[in-house]
């Protein structure tokens, strides 16, 4: 997973990674919000969900201590990160402001 993950985050297009867990209540709240974000931004963003229980190495590499944690990448650089649930409007605004 790590090689393809590294390739994905190198994209010119912003990539929002959602580190989640199946047992996490707030993660379940965030899931439909991220779908709305994708519907709003369309092809301008890639959203990738990473289950921390199945991908512990990646979670450790990016120091994910709590879920949900969102990390925004573009051209391989981490532009922003946030733990917890945010509104669709806040997430869209952040993505637009932080990415080119």
The residue annotated as part of the active site, out of 15, 17, 21, 27, is 27
Q: Give the burial class of 12: count Cβ atoms within 10 A of its Cβ; 0-12 exposed, 13-18 middle, 19 or more buried.
A: exposed
- The active-site residue out of 11, 13, 24, 36 is 24
14 included as an active-site residue: no
Catalytic site residue 27? yes
Q: List the catalytic residues.
A: 24, 27
């Amino acid at each position: 997973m790590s090689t393809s993950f590294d390739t994905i985050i190198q994209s010119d297009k912003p990539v929002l990674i959602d580190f989640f867990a199946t047992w996490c209540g707030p993660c379940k709240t965030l899931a439909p919000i991220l779908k709305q974000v994708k519907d709003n931004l369309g092809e301008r963003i890639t959203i990738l969900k990473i289950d921390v229980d199945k991908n512990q190495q990646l979670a450790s590499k990016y120091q994910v201590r709590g879920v949900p944690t969102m990390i925004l990448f573009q051209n391989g650089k981490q532009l922003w990160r946030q733990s917890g649930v945010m509104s669709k409007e806040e997430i869209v605004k952040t993505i637009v402001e932080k990415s080119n």
